[in-house]
Amino acid sequence: MRRLDFDATGAAGPSSPAVELAALAVSALRDEVDLTPKPGLVDRATRGAHRDMDHALMVASAQALEPGFTAIARAAESERDPVALRAALGAAGRDAEAAMMRVTRGVNTHRGAIWALGLIVGAAAALPRSQWRAAALLRWVARMAAIDDPALAAPRRVSNGARVVARYRVAGARGEAMGGFPQIVQAGLPALRAARAMGASEAAARLDALAALIAVLDDTCVLHRAGPDGLASVQSAAVTVAERGGAASPAGCAALAQLDRLFLELNASPGGAADLLAATLLVDRLETTAGPAPGVQETDHANAIA
């Protein structure tokens, strides 16, 4: 059933594609925060490794981003010059971040998600619905992320993520986007769909996707708090979740609980993996919305990004 918006006269009409895409993005963020229990992350039951966030705050933050995602989609619908579009996307993203910060009173709840999901929303808005497949969407993301945002030429506060990227020489948020978010197609989506195919519940499938992402992502949130040794330990523990049957099995659930304890001991949270889980869920939903793939099989992701 299509959403209805009301114009200035009060008449109802079908929602615009931009509004539809923004709603899908917020829904993906809500699905991520509602997923319980998650290792090291805020969920319905706990604050994870966070002292300054809770479930209500995360929900309010996600809802506050809907106008920003709508603006991103509208920019991608209307602007065809890549450099001008990159500038417009950057401006819309900063407006969305400001709205988030107003709601959270300065707590960074979803900055990484604005970047990741914003680019995917932009890709979907720029491409015809028939091309809402992971390869095409993430190829567009890679090309857009490679363009410098002209507004960032001015001096800005250096973020914790930027410091981690420089110190440990990892890809970071922009590098991952320039690679077309390979973790989504190599880890997140395969784990999500494999669990579903095995008859797991949707919650278990999403937890398996999260564990798969934690296992392969050089998460700057973890590196910032726990350093490379801490990152290696949580990646290894995340691999164990799959080895023990995933979240649908008792042994896999025990491994997830152990992963959660490890994050709490390290006082670290896999915030980057959480953002990529939401991005994975958004790509999955866009592919479902696009309908069955054409008869010709999709190009391999590595070739598509190249």
C-alpha–C-alpha distance, residues 256 and 272, integer Å: 17
- pLDDT for res 67: 98
Q: Which amino acid is at 173?
A: A
Q: Which amino acid is at 100?
A: M
- pLDDT for res 157: 62
pLDDT in tens, the chain (306 residues): 334 343 433 333 446 899 999 999 999 999 999 999 999 999 999 999 998 999 999 999 999 999 999 999 999 999 999 999 999 999 999 999 999 999 999 999 999 999 999 999 999 999 999 999 999 999 999 999 999 998 876 556 667 778 888 888 888 999 999 999 999 999 999 999 999 999 999 999 999 999 999 999 999 999 999 999 999 999 999 999 999 999 999 999 999 999 999 999 999 999 999 999 999 999 999 999 998 876 644 444 444 443
C-alpha–C-alpha distance, residues 287 and 138, integer Å: 12
- pLDDT for res 164: 85
- pLDDT for res 165: 82
Q: Beta-carbon neighbour count of residue 270 at 10 Å? A: 29
SS (H, E, C) the chain: CCCEEECCCCCEEECCHHHHHHHHHHHHHHHHHHCCCCCCCCCCCCCCCCCCCCHHHHHHHHHHCHHHHHHHHHHHHHCCCHHHHHHHHHHHHHHHHHHHHHHHCCCCCCHHHHHHHHHHHHHHHHCCHHHCCHHHHHHHHHHHHCCCCHHHHCCCCCCHHHHHHHHHCCCHHHHHHHCCCHHHHHHHHHHHHHHHHCCCCHHHHHHHHHHHHHHHCCCHHHHHHHHHHHHHHHHHHHHHHHHCCCCCCHHHHHHHHHHHHHHHHHCCCCHHHHHHHHHHHHHHHHHHHHCCCCCCCCCCHHHHHC
Q: What are the φ and ψ backbone dihedral angles of 3, each rounded to 5 degrees?
A: -70, 155
* Contacts with 77 (C-beta within 8 Å, 6 or more apart), sequence order: 17, 18, 125, 126
- pLDDT for res 32: 98
- pLDDT for res 155: 54
Instruction: List the end-to-end C-alpha distance of the chain, in Å, as a whole number.
Output: 38
